[in-house]
Amino acid sequence: MKIGVIGGGQLGRMLALAGTPLGMNFAFLDPAPDACAAALGEHLRADYGDQAHLRQLAEEVDLVTFEFESVPAETVAFLSQFVPVYPSAEALRIARDRWFEKSMFKDLGIPTPAFADIQSQADLDAAVASIGLPAVLKTRTLGYDGKGQKVLRTPQDVVDTFAELGSVPCLLEGFVPFTGEVSLIAVRARDGETRFYPLVHNTHDSGILRLSIASTDHPLQALAEDYASRVLKQLDYVGVLAFEFFEVDGGLKANEIAPRVHNSGHWTTEGAECSQFENHLRAVAGLPLGSTAKVGESAMLNFIGEVPAVEKVIAIDDCHLHHYGKAFKAGRKVGHATVRSHDRATLDRQVKRVEALIKN
């Protein structure tokens, strides 16, 4: 089976690393000459709107999937005429736009921060008056790793801020005084069978994920699964979906969903019986899903800007290096490590050993 992937970054690369042993081949559509997934499959180097190359991709592959959600809607619509596309165009339309996403949560009875659609500075002033400060202004589309957003703390922060974010459609959200951030990685098969990985506790710095720790018997697991199930059914979703939540007042508020494999699920490559990457491929290919059970205790640490010395990373017990083969650049995710252990205390010590190798 040949899988077409829109985007050729590290998520595409890790999908291919998981799918190749299943006998799958891969073609990646990505305009970047140095797309790091290209080492694992065919690289169609073209813009996402290039219909000749989209046609070529559709002819070559059995199905198409995505490794990022900001794919133009026209690309998905065009491809869907010729080849099955998972997750669906509708799932992408909702997940790529914070307004559609939060409106869906609200319609499904899933708690969210207070939010308002912002099309102008006047909208922003009115929304700040009703939601209050502090608040977070985010572009509706194309934001990632904390980009395209600004925390508003004082009335002075609100002045001219709509223009500062590019005068594009935005969402204003009430600031959530969360006690933690967790994510749930879910996978849904074509026949509707759904499985969930254990909730992951995430630590961010400057909007970028740094550390994920898979939990054991998290008290909010069932609630998170309930909320995610509502979304998966609503979208008739196929594939892996990541759901990010704020932990607040002993409950959960939905932050966002990602219609793809997710950074906070990278620990599953070594830490679960079947990884998020393999399960995404199994789901989209119509194969039986794999077990989402944990194998011991696991954590994942991102390498941002540079990968520490390989020999030092892999000298740590049960520590697994994933080097993306990308050029090092400040603020860029260029690799990660997964650490595993039989017990949490040992895991925490291993995490500290990896952290000691990270300079930034």
Q: How far is the CB of 236 from ligand AMP (least distance, A)?
A: 25
Comparing CB distances to ligand AMP, the nearer of 176 and 223 is: 176
- Decide if residue 207 touches ligand AMP (CB under 6 A): yes
Alpha carbons 90 and 187: distance in angstroms, whole number? 17
Site for ligand AMP (CB under 6 A): which residue of 67, 69, 225, 256?
Answer: 256
Stretch that binds ligand AMP, among 56-64, 120-128, 152-160, 174-182 (CB under 6 A): 174-182
- CB of 160 closer than 8 Å to CB of 195: no
Structure tokens at 346: 């040992």
Comparing CB distances to ligand AMP, the nearer of 207 and 305 is: 207
Site for ligand AMP (CB under 6 A): which residue of 176, 199, 214, 238?
Answer: 176
Q: How many residues bind ligand AMP (CB under 6 A)?
A: 13
- Decide if residue 143 touches ligand AMP (CB under 6 A): yes
Q: How far is the CB of 170 from ligand AMP (least distance, A)?
A: 12
Comparing CB distances to ligand AMP, the nearer of 256 and 270 is: 256
Q: How far is the CB of 230 from ligand AMP (least distance, A)?
A: 20
- Decide if residue 247 touches ligand AMP (CB under 6 A): no
Comparing CB distances to ligand AMP, the nearer of 43 and 201 is: 201
Q: How far is the CB of 206 from ligand AMP (least distance, A)?
A: 9
- Decide if residue 271 touches ligand AMP (CB under 6 A): no
- Decide if residue 175 touches ligand AMP (CB under 6 A): yes
Q: How far is the CB of 173 from ligand AMP (least distance, A)?
A: 4
- Decide if residue 146 touches ligand AMP (CB under 6 A): yes
Alpha carbons 49 and 64: distance in angstroms, whole number? 15
Q: How far is the CB of 12 from ligand AMP (least distance, A)?
A: 21
Site for ligand AMP (CB under 6 A): which residue of 30, 97, 101, 181?
Answer: 181
Site for ligand AMP in 89-118 (CB under 6 A): 113
Binding site for ligand AMP (CB under 6 A): 113, 136, 143, 146, 173, 175-176, 181, 204, 207, 244, 255-256
